[in-house]
Amino acid sequence: MKLTVLLLELGKGLLVSVEIFTLTLLFSLPLGLFVSFGRMSRNFLLRNFIKLYISIMRGTPLILQLMVVYFGPYYIFGMSLSGYRFIATIIAFSINYAAYFAEIYRAGIESMPAGQYEAAKVLGYSRAQTFIKIILPQVIKRILPPVTNEVITLIKDTSLAFVISVPEMFTKAKAIASAQASMIPFIAAGVFYYVYNFIVAYIMEFFEKKLSYYK
C-alpha cells in the first residue's frame, strides 16, 4: 500500500475520532455540571444515586461500558443494532466523561470561599445570579488544568471504540496493519494522535492564559 493511500485511510478514521471527541465534549461537559449538582444535592436519594453512578463509571473499564451500552439493548430488549453503533459510542463516552467532569466541577465549586457567596447574598444577588456571575467564572479558571487532563485523555480514549468496530483511526490502523503485516500504520496513527493532542493542548493553554488576567 502506498503511503498516501495509508494516510488517506487513517485521515478518514481521524475524522471519525474527531467526531467522537467533539460530540463527547459537547454532551459531557454540560451533563457533568448537572451531575455535580446532583452529587452535591441535599436530597439523600438523588445524592446517593449519583454517587453510585459516578462510582460505577469510574470503577469499571470504559471499554467494557462501551460494549454494555452497544450490545445491552439487543440482549435486554432484543433491539436491532443497525445504525446504533456510533450513537452507542457517543452515549458511552458522554456518560463516562460526565462522571469525571462532575467530580472536577464539584472540587472547583467546593473550593470557592464562603465569603464570595456571602458578599453576593448581602449585595442582593439571587442564587442563580450568584452562581452564574460570581461562582462559575472563578470555578472555570480553577478547574481548567484538570479539565485539560481529561480532554487529552479523551483523545486517546476514542481509540477504544475499535472494540465495537467504529471506523475511527485506531480501528483503521489495526485493520491495515494486520492486512499488510506492518507496523507502519500504527506508527503513523501514533503520530496523528500526538499531533492532534499537541494542537488541543495548545488551545487549552491559550484559554488558561486568557483567564490569567486575575488571581
Partner 1 sequence: MKLLEIRNLQKSFGNLKVIKDFSMEVEEGQVVAIIGPSGSGKSTLLRCATMLETVDTGEIYYLGEPVVTTGPDGGAVYASHKKLKQIRQYYGLVFQNFNLFPHFSVIKNITDPLITVKKMQKPEALEIGRSLLKKMALSDKENAYPYELSGGQQQRVSIARALALSPKVLFFDEPTSALDPELTGEILKVMRDLAAERMTMVIVTHEMSFARDVADHVIFMDGGIIVEEGPPKQVINNPQNDRTKMFLNRFED
Stretch that binds partner 1, among 71-79, 84-92, 122-130, 157-165 (CB under 8 A): 122-130
How long is the chain? 215
Using alpha carbons, select from 5, 101, 1 the residue that is nearest to residue 57: 101
x/- binding map, residues 57-96, to partner 1, per CB under 8 A?
----------------------------------------
Task: Say what angle helices 136-157 and 3-39 make with each other, to 10 degrees.
Answer: 140
Residue 172 binds partner 1 (CB under 8 A)? no
Residue 124 binds partner 1 (CB under 8 A)? yes
- Whole-number minimum distance, CB 140 to partner 1, in Å? 10
As a whole number of Å, the CA-based R_g of the chain is 21
- Whole-number minimum distance, CB 128 to partner 1, in Å? 11
The cell for 191 is 503520530
Residue 215 binds partner 1 (CB under 8 A)? yes
Q: Which is nearer to partner 1, 79 or 211 (CB)?
A: 211
What one-character-per-residue DSSP string does 49-96 give? HHHHHHHHHHHS-HHHHHHHHHHHHHHHH----TTTHHHHHHHHHHHH
Largest Cα separation within the chain, whole Å, is: 70
Are 81 and 70 in contact by the 8 Å Cβ rule? The answer is yes
Name which position in 22, 116, 153, 182 contacts partner 1 (CB under 8 A): 116
Residue 118 binds partner 1 (CB under 8 A)? yes
- Whole-number minimum distance, CB 206 to partner 1, in Å? 18
Binding site for partner 1 (CB under 8 A): 113, 115-116, 118-125, 129, 133-134, 137-138, 141, 213-215
